[in-house]
Amino acid sequence: MSDREKERDEDRERAEKRKEGVEADPHGTGNFIKKPPAFVCGVIITIVIFYIVAIYFAFQAYKEFKGIAEDTAGGPSNLNEGANIMAYGTLEPRR
């Protein structure tokens, strides 16, 4: 085998390895799935912050609407006396 044939074979092998690398990494950046793009991280962080804030406001709304329901149901101020249906099953506070 001549030197020229060896060089061609080596070039073909390098081209095959390069081709396999490009097929494994469709973007051709060499950073495939090693680190996500900044946009994706930003969206994920935004969604997490949104859910934390949404949970807080949902809890506050729950307390408000439960207070309204208890006021509407009427009955004694001590909710454990049984006149208020909202108090059914509540426990005595610990002292």
| Six-digit token string for 10 | 């080596």
- pLDDT reading at 5 higher than 80: yes
pLDDT per residue as tens digits for the range 37-85:
888 889 999 999 999 999 999 999 998 988 887 777 665 555 555 555 6
Query: What's 19-77 look like in SS3?
Result: HHHHHHCCCCCCCCCCCCCHHHHHHHHHHHHHHHHHHHHHHHHHHHHHHHHHHHHCCCC
- pTM: predicted TM-score of the whole model, two decimal places: 0.46
pLDDT value for 71: 74
Task: Give residue for tokens 């859910």.
Answer: 51
